[in-house]
A and B are shown apart, each in its own frame.
Chain A
Amino acid sequence: NAGVMQNPRHLVRRRGQEARLRCSPVKGHSHVYWYRQLPEEGLKFMVYLQKENIIDESGMPKERFSAEFPKEGPSILRIQQVVRGDSAAYFCASSPATGQGRSPLHFGNGTRLTVT
C-alpha cells in the first residue's frame, strides 16, 4: 500500500449498471496488477498491464470485464452490466518492472464494490 491509490474506496451499483475502478500506481511504476477478493477468501489474480498493453489477462472473466492502463492517467478496471456475484474487493498493485527480479507486490487499499 506504499503509494498505490485506488478510488473510489466504496462503490455501490445496481444490477446492470457499469462499474469503473481506478488505480494510480506508485509514481514511476509502469506495471499494474489487478486482483479480486471475494468475502472471506484470498486474493485472486485478474490481469497484468503495462502502459498501453495487456500482458496477462488469464484471470479475467471473458465477458463484461475489461482493463486498461493508458499512457497518461490511472489504470481502469471496467465491469459492464454488473451482477451480484461481482460484489467483491478489487485490489491493485504496481511495480517498476517484473521479470527476473523477485520483489513482493505492494497493494493499494482496494475498492469495495457492492452490487444491489
Chain B
Amino acid sequence: GENVGLHLPTLSVQEGDNSIINCAYSNSASDYFIWYKQESGKGPQFIIDIRSNMDKRQGQRVTVLLNKTVKHLSLQIAATQPGDSAVYFCAENSGGSNYKLTFGKGTLLTVNP
C-alpha cells in the first residue's frame, strides 16, 4: 500500500504487505529528518532518522528514503504487522541542533489482519 503526499492521510494495508508512507517537506535548508510512530494515547516514538548527506537508511523492517531534489521523504515498512497500526509523522530540522523539529500532519496506518 502507498499514499501520496499529505492529501491522503490514511493508509490501509493487509497484514504481511509492505507499507510506504510518504512525506513532502518545504524547507530546502532542512538537513535532518526523523520518522515517529504515535499510538493512541501515547507520545511519539522514534523509528528512524536520516541526515541529508544520505539518501537511504535501513533499520529493522523499516527503510527511510530521502530525495532532496524533490524534497520528499518516505518510510517503508516491510511485512506490516497489526502492531504497526498507528499515526506516522515525519519531522524535519535545520540549523545544527536537533530540538526544533517541524512535524508533518501525519498518516494513519491501519493494518488489517
Using a CB–CB cutoff of 8 Å, the interface residues on chain A facing chain B are 1, 4, 31, 33, 35, 40-45, 48, 56, 91, 93, 95, 98-110
| Segment 29-45 of B: residues with Cβ below 8 Å from A | 32, 34, 41-45
Given contacts A4-B43, A106-B46, 20 further A-B contacts (CB under 8 A): A33-B99, A41-B106, A42-B91, A42-B106, A43-B44, A45-B102, A56-B100, A91-B44, A98-B97, A98-B99, A100-B96, A100-B97, A101-B98, A102-B49, A102-B98, A105-B98, A105-B99, A107-B43, A107-B45, A110-B42
B61 → chain A closest CB, angstroms:
18
Cα(A41)–Cα(B45), bound, Å: 16
Evaluate contact between B98 and A103: CB separation under 8 angstroms.
yes
Q: A-side binding surface: helix, strand, loop or mixed?
A: loop
B72 proximal to A (CB < 8 A):
no
Interface residues on B, range: 20 to 34
With a cutoff of 8 Å between Cβ atoms, the chain B residues found around residue A35 in the complex are 101
- Of A1, A93, A105, which is within 8 A of B42 by CB? A1
Q: With A41-B105, A42-B104, A104-B34 known to touch, is A48 a contact of B99 (CB < 8 Å)?
A: yes
With a cutoff of 8 Å between Cβ atoms, the chain A residues found around residue B99 in the complex are 31, 33, 45, 48, 56, 93, 95, 98, 105
Evaluate contact between A104 and B98: CB separation under 8 angstroms.
yes
With a cutoff of 8 Å between Cβ atoms, the chain B residues found around residue A93 in the complex are 99
A93 → chain B closest CB, angstroms:
8
B27-70 to A contact mask, C-beta < 8 Å, 1/0: 00000101000000111111001010000000000000000000
